[in-house]
Protein backbone atom coordinates (compact mmCIF):
# COMPACT_ATOMS: atom_id res chain seq x y z
CA UNK A 1 0.00 0.00 0.00
CA UNK A 2 2.82 2.41 0.91
CA UNK A 3 4.43 1.85 -2.50
CA UNK A 4 1.12 2.62 -4.21
CA UNK A 5 0.69 5.84 -2.24
CA UNK A 6 4.28 6.85 -3.00
CA UNK A 7 3.75 6.22 -6.72
CA UNK A 8 0.55 8.25 -6.71
CA UNK A 9 2.34 11.13 -4.99
CA UNK A 10 5.05 11.09 -7.66
CA UNK A 11 2.44 11.14 -10.43
CA UNK A 12 0.57 13.97 -8.71
CA UNK A 13 3.75 16.02 -8.26
CA UNK A 14 4.68 15.54 -11.90
CA UNK A 15 1.20 16.59 -12.99
CA UNK A 16 1.33 19.72 -10.82
CA UNK A 17 4.78 20.61 -12.14
CA UNK A 18 3.60 20.19 -15.72
CA UNK A 19 0.47 22.29 -15.15
CA UNK A 20 2.56 25.09 -13.63
CA UNK A 21 4.56 25.28 -16.86
CA UNK A 22 1.50 25.70 -19.06
CA UNK A 23 0.43 29.03 -20.49
CA UNK A 24 -2.95 30.41 -19.52
CA UNK A 25 -4.80 32.76 -21.83
CA UNK A 26 -5.69 36.03 -20.12
CA UNK A 27 -9.02 37.78 -20.43
CA UNK A 28 -9.34 41.25 -21.93
CA UNK A 29 -10.32 42.53 -18.49
CA UNK A 30 -7.11 41.15 -16.96
CA UNK A 31 -4.98 42.64 -19.74
CA UNK A 32 -6.55 46.09 -19.58
CA UNK A 33 -6.45 46.09 -15.79
CA UNK A 34 -2.69 45.54 -15.59
CA UNK A 35 -0.29 48.39 -16.35
CA UNK A 36 2.63 45.95 -16.40
CA UNK A 37 1.03 43.65 -18.99
CA UNK A 38 0.27 46.60 -21.26
CA UNK A 39 3.69 48.22 -20.75
CA UNK A 40 5.48 44.96 -21.57
CA UNK A 41 3.31 44.59 -24.67
CA UNK A 42 4.60 47.94 -25.92
CA UNK A 43 8.19 47.12 -24.99
CA UNK A 44 7.99 43.89 -26.99
CA UNK A 45 6.41 45.66 -29.95
CA UNK A 46 9.17 48.29 -29.98
CA UNK A 47 11.77 45.53 -29.84
CA UNK A 48 10.17 43.70 -32.78
CA UNK A 49 9.92 46.89 -34.86
CA UNK A 50 13.60 47.60 -34.27
CA UNK A 51 14.45 44.08 -35.45
CA UNK A 52 12.17 44.39 -38.50
CA UNK A 53 13.88 47.64 -39.53
CA UNK A 54 17.54 46.92 -38.82
CA UNK A 55 17.91 43.12 -38.70
CA UNK A 56 15.44 41.80 -41.26
CA UNK A 57 17.09 39.02 -43.31
CA UNK A 58 15.53 40.17 -46.61
CA UNK A 59 13.07 43.05 -46.71
CA UNK A 60 13.15 45.57 -43.85
CA UNK A 61 10.05 47.57 -43.06
CA UNK A 62 10.09 51.30 -43.71
CA UNK A 63 11.91 53.28 -41.03
CA UNK A 64 9.12 55.68 -40.19
CA UNK A 65 8.19 56.26 -36.55
CA UNK A 66 6.07 55.57 -34.71
CA UNK A 67 4.68 52.08 -35.06
CA UNK A 68 2.19 50.82 -32.49
CA UNK A 69 0.02 47.86 -31.54
CA UNK A 70 -3.24 48.12 -33.45
CA UNK A 71 -4.75 44.83 -32.28
CA UNK A 72 -4.02 42.38 -29.46
CA UNK A 73 -5.14 38.91 -30.44
CA UNK A 74 -4.04 37.17 -27.27
CA UNK A 75 -1.87 37.39 -24.17
CA UNK A 76 -0.87 34.22 -22.34
CA UNK A 77 0.84 33.95 -18.97
CA UNK A 78 3.02 31.33 -17.34
CA UNK A 79 4.44 31.54 -13.81
CA UNK A 80 7.42 29.50 -12.68
CA UNK A 81 9.63 30.11 -9.64
CA UNK A 82 8.68 33.77 -9.36
CA UNK A 83 9.21 34.52 -13.06
CA UNK A 84 6.25 35.60 -15.18
CA UNK A 85 6.38 34.79 -18.88
CA UNK A 86 3.94 36.71 -21.08
CA UNK A 87 3.37 35.56 -24.65
CA UNK A 88 1.80 38.18 -26.89
CA UNK A 89 0.22 37.81 -30.32
CA UNK A 90 -0.39 41.26 -31.78
CA UNK A 91 -0.81 43.29 -34.95
CA UNK A 92 1.57 46.23 -35.39
CA UNK A 93 1.04 49.06 -37.87
CA UNK A 94 2.52 52.50 -38.55
CA UNK A 95 1.10 55.42 -36.59
CA UNK A 96 0.08 56.26 -33.06
CA UNK A 97 -2.24 53.84 -31.27
CA UNK A 98 -5.83 55.05 -31.03
CA UNK A 99 -6.50 52.76 -28.08
CA UNK A 100 -9.36 50.98 -29.85
CA UNK A 101 -7.71 47.53 -30.26
CA UNK A 102 -9.49 47.14 -33.59
CA UNK A 103 -8.11 46.12 -36.99
CA UNK A 104 -11.37 46.36 -38.94
CA UNK A 105 -10.45 49.62 -40.67
CA UNK A 106 -6.96 48.57 -41.77
CA UNK A 107 -6.42 48.57 -45.52
CA UNK A 108 -3.61 46.12 -46.37
CA UNK A 109 -3.30 47.71 -49.82
CA UNK A 110 -1.93 50.90 -48.28
CA UNK A 111 -0.65 49.86 -44.84
CA UNK A 112 2.33 47.83 -43.65
CA UNK A 113 0.94 45.14 -41.36
CA UNK A 114 3.17 43.18 -38.99
CA UNK A 115 1.85 40.12 -37.21
CA UNK A 116 4.14 39.45 -34.25
CA UNK A 117 4.39 36.90 -31.49
CA UNK A 118 6.87 37.52 -28.70
CA UNK A 119 7.52 36.28 -25.18
CA UNK A 120 8.72 38.49 -22.37
CA UNK A 121 10.19 37.20 -19.13
CA UNK A 122 9.54 39.40 -16.09
CA UNK A 123 10.48 38.96 -12.43
CA UNK A 124 8.38 41.33 -10.28
CA UNK A 125 10.64 41.01 -7.23
CA UNK A 126 13.55 42.78 -8.91
CA UNK A 127 12.04 44.10 -12.15
CA UNK A 128 14.37 42.14 -14.44
CA UNK A 129 12.93 41.82 -17.92
CA UNK A 130 13.99 40.29 -21.23
CA UNK A 131 12.54 39.37 -24.60
CA UNK A 132 13.13 35.63 -24.69
CA UNK A 133 11.67 34.84 -28.11
CA UNK A 134 10.01 36.56 -31.03
CA UNK A 135 8.85 36.01 -34.58
CA UNK A 136 6.98 38.15 -37.03
CA UNK A 137 5.65 38.28 -40.57
CA UNK A 138 5.13 41.38 -42.69
CA UNK A 139 2.39 42.17 -45.20
CA UNK A 140 3.77 44.99 -47.32
CA UNK A 141 1.31 47.41 -48.94
CA UNK A 142 0.52 47.19 -52.64
CA UNK A 143 0.92 50.95 -52.91
CA UNK A 144 3.76 52.71 -51.10
CA UNK A 145 2.15 55.17 -48.66
CA UNK A 146 3.19 58.80 -48.55
CA UNK A 147 5.63 59.56 -45.74
CA UNK A 148 4.06 61.82 -43.13
CA UNK A 149 6.25 61.24 -40.08
CA UNK A 150 7.68 64.75 -39.90
CA UNK A 151 11.23 63.45 -39.88
CA UNK A 152 10.64 60.77 -37.24
CA UNK A 153 12.54 57.52 -37.50
CA UNK A 154 14.04 54.72 -35.40
CA UNK A 155 17.68 54.45 -34.48
CA UNK A 156 19.55 51.17 -34.21
CA UNK A 157 20.32 50.53 -30.50
CA UNK A 158 23.39 48.55 -31.57
CA UNK A 159 24.82 51.54 -33.46
CA UNK A 160 23.48 54.61 -31.64
CA UNK A 161 24.29 55.84 -28.17
CA UNK A 162 21.63 55.69 -25.50
CA UNK A 163 20.58 58.68 -23.40
CA UNK A 164 23.46 60.74 -22.02
CA UNK A 165 24.79 60.49 -18.49
CA UNK A 166 23.22 63.89 -17.79
CA UNK A 167 19.83 62.58 -18.88
CA UNK A 168 20.19 59.47 -16.69
CA UNK A 169 21.28 61.58 -13.71
CA UNK A 170 18.29 63.87 -14.19
CA UNK A 171 15.81 60.98 -14.38
CA UNK A 172 17.28 59.24 -11.33
CA UNK A 173 17.39 62.41 -9.22
CA UNK A 174 13.86 63.50 -10.04
CA UNK A 175 12.45 59.97 -10.08
CA UNK A 176 13.64 59.43 -6.51
CA UNK A 177 12.21 62.79 -5.48
CA UNK A 178 8.77 62.12 -6.94
CA UNK A 179 8.66 58.54 -5.62
CA UNK A 180 8.63 56.75 -8.98
CA UNK A 181 12.12 55.35 -8.29
CA UNK A 182 13.42 53.64 -5.18
CA UNK A 183 16.42 55.28 -3.59
CA UNK A 184 19.82 54.18 -4.87
CA UNK A 185 22.41 54.58 -7.60
CA UNK A 186 21.27 53.61 -11.12
CA UNK A 187 22.98 53.15 -14.47
CA UNK A 188 21.74 52.53 -17.99
CA UNK A 189 20.81 48.91 -18.68
CA UNK A 190 19.41 47.85 -22.06
CA UNK A 191 18.18 50.18 -24.80
CA UNK A 192 15.10 48.66 -26.44
CA UNK A 193 14.25 51.39 -28.92
CA UNK A 194 15.29 54.86 -30.04
CA UNK A 195 13.10 57.33 -31.93
CA UNK A 196 14.65 60.41 -33.51
CA UNK A 197 12.51 63.39 -34.53
CA UNK A 198 14.62 65.77 -36.60
CA UNK A 199 11.94 68.39 -37.21
CA UNK A 200 11.06 68.79 -33.53
CA UNK A 201 14.54 68.14 -32.12
CA UNK A 202 13.81 65.39 -29.67
CA UNK A 203 15.03 61.86 -29.05
CA UNK A 204 12.97 59.24 -27.23
CA UNK A 205 14.53 56.19 -25.60
CA UNK A 206 12.88 53.08 -24.16
CA UNK A 207 15.40 51.63 -21.72
CA UNK A 208 16.00 49.85 -18.46
CA UNK A 209 17.74 51.46 -15.51
CA UNK A 210 19.60 49.11 -13.17
CA UNK A 211 20.39 49.83 -9.52
CA UNK A 212 23.68 48.64 -8.05
CA UNK A 213 21.93 45.69 -6.35
CA UNK A 214 20.38 44.57 -9.65
CA UNK A 215 16.91 46.03 -9.12
CA UNK A 216 15.63 47.07 -12.56
CA UNK A 217 13.04 49.55 -13.82
CA UNK A 218 11.77 50.29 -17.30
CA UNK A 219 11.77 53.93 -18.37
CA UNK A 220 10.95 56.13 -21.33
CA UNK A 221 13.32 59.09 -21.52
CA UNK A 222 12.75 62.02 -23.85
CA UNK A 223 15.56 64.48 -24.60
CA UNK A 224 14.57 67.68 -26.38
CA UNK A 225 16.48 70.74 -27.56
CA UNK A 226 14.04 73.68 -27.70
CA UNK A 227 16.36 75.81 -29.81
CA UNK A 228 17.27 73.04 -32.23
CA UNK A 229 20.59 71.37 -32.73
CA UNK A 230 22.55 74.52 -31.88
CA UNK A 231 21.02 74.92 -28.42
CA UNK A 232 23.37 73.42 -25.81
CA UNK A 233 20.60 73.20 -23.19
CA UNK A 234 18.57 69.98 -23.27
CA UNK A 235 15.26 69.37 -21.56
CA UNK A 236 14.45 65.97 -20.13
CA UNK A 237 11.16 64.22 -19.58
CA UNK A 238 10.56 60.69 -18.39
CA UNK A 239 8.09 57.97 -17.51
CA UNK A 240 9.01 55.27 -14.99
CA UNK A 241 6.97 52.09 -15.48
CA UNK A 242 5.73 50.20 -12.45
CA UNK A 243 6.87 46.69 -11.53
CA UNK A 244 3.69 45.98 -9.55
CA UNK A 245 1.52 43.35 -11.18
Same domain, 96 and 181: no
How confident is residue 8, by pLDDT bands cut at 50, 70 and 90?
Answer: very low
Same domain, 82 and 198: no
Asked if 238 and 217 count as a contact pair (C-beta separation under 8 A), the reply is no
Same domain, 184 and 226: yes
Domain that holds residue 106: 22-151
Query: Is the N-terminal amide bond of 66 cis, ω within 30° of 0?
Result: yes
Q: What is the arithmetic mean of pLDDT over 118-135?
A: 97
Same domain, 64 and 130: yes
Give the chain's domain count: 2
How confident is residue 199, by pLDDT bands cut at 50, 70 and 90?
Answer: low
Higher pLDDT, 99 or 232: 99
Same domain, 68 and 176: no
From 151, 169, 204, the end of a domain falls on: 151
From 151, 169, 191, the end of a domain falls on: 151
Q: pLDDT (tens digit, 9 = 90+) per residue, 58-90?
A: 888 888 878 999 999 999 999 999 999 999 999
Same domain, 114 and 157: no
Residue 57: how many CB atoms within 10 A of its CB? 5
Q: pLDDT (tens digit, 9 = 90+) per residue, 167-177?
A: 999 999 999 99
CATH of the domain at 136: 3.10.450.10
Q: Which of 54-58, 94-98, 184-188, 214-218 has the lowest mean pLDDT?
A: 94-98
Same domain, 211 and 98: no
From 116, 136, 151, the end of a domain falls on: 151
Higher pLDDT, 218 or 8: 218
pTM of this structure: 0.84
Strand bridging mode 24-25 / 128-139? unpaired
Find all residues with CB under 8 Å of 37, minimum gap 6, and list them.
26, 30, 31, 75, 86, 245
Residue 29 counted as domain residue: yes
Amino acid sequence: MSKLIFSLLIILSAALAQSSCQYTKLSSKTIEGSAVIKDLRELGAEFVITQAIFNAPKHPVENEAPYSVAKTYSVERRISKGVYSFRYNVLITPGESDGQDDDSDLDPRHTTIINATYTISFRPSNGKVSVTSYRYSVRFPDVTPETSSGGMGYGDPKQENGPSDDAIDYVVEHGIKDGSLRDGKYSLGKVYSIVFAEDTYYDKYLVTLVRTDGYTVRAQITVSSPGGGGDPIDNYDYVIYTNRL
